[in-house]
Amino acid sequence: MDYDERRERLAERLRYELNLSQRVYNAMKNVPRHIFVPERYKIEAYSDTPLPIGFGQTISAPHMVAIMCELLDLREGDKVLEVGTGCGYHAAVVAELVGKSGRVISVEYIPELAEMAKANLSALGYDNVYVVVGDGSKGYPPEAPYDKIYVTASAPDVPQPLVEQLKPGGRMVIPVGEHAQWLIILEKDKKGNIRKKNWGSVRFVPLRGEYGFKSVRY
C-alpha cells in the first residue's frame, strides 16, 4: 500500500468517525503527513497517533488536528496564529483551509524544529505559512490581531497575550492543564467580551515559554 492510499484511508476513517466537514476532510486528504515524520517513523505516518519528532516534541495525532481545525471554523482568507510549529504538519493542514488569500503565522520555541518545519513546508510549496522562532506563549505582536489562534501544547491557563492578540469576533483553541488537560474554545465577541467552552479531555506536550510550564526539561 503506498502513502497516497494510506492517507486517503485515514482521511475517510476520520470523516466517518468525526463527521468531518468536506473542507477539513479535503485538507486532511491533501497534506502528506509522511513528509513531516522522521524517517524511522514513516511506516507509521498514517496511523492515527502522535509520533516523536525530537526535542521531546511530537507530531499530533491526525484526529486531533482535524478536531482543532473543525473547532476553529477556519475560513478562506483568515489570518491565523499557531503556537508550536513542531514539524509543520498542523500548519500545513490549516494553510489548506485558509487558502492562498489567508496566512498562517507559526511560532516555534525550538530553533531546530523551526528549521525542520520551514524545510518541510517549503518542499511542499506552502508559501502562505510563516515560521518564526520565539516564545509563542507571548503570541506574535507584529502580525496581530488574528482571526483565529490555536496552541499545540498545553498551558497552565490561557496566556493573556494571546487573548489580547485575538480579533473581536475571533476564536482560539488551546489545551489547558498539566496532569489533567482540557481543550478550551475561547471566543471574543465584537465588544471584546470573552466566552470559554470546555470541549473535553486531551493530552498534549507542555507549552514552553513565559506563560508555559516552568519545570519542563528535555
What does the DSSP 8-state code read for residue 205?
P
**What backbone phi and psi angles, to 5 degrees, belong to 56?**
75, 15
Catalytically active residues are 60
Residue 210 exposed, middle or buried by CB count within 10 Å (0-12, 13-18, 19+): exposed
Rounded distance between C-alpha atoms, residue 154 and residue 175, angstroms: 5
Residue 70 exposed, middle or buried by CB count within 10 Å (0-12, 13-18, 19+): middle
Residue 148 exposed, middle or buried by CB count within 10 Å (0-12, 13-18, 19+): buried
- Helical residues (DSSP H) of the chain, grouped into ranges: 3-18, 22-30, 62-72, 89-98, 111-123, 160-165
Q: Dihedral through CA 170, CA 136, CA 71, CA 86, nearest 10?
A: 150
Rounded distance between C-alpha atoms, residue 37 and residue 77, angstroms: 28
Q: Are 186 and 194 in contact (CB under 8 A)?
A: yes
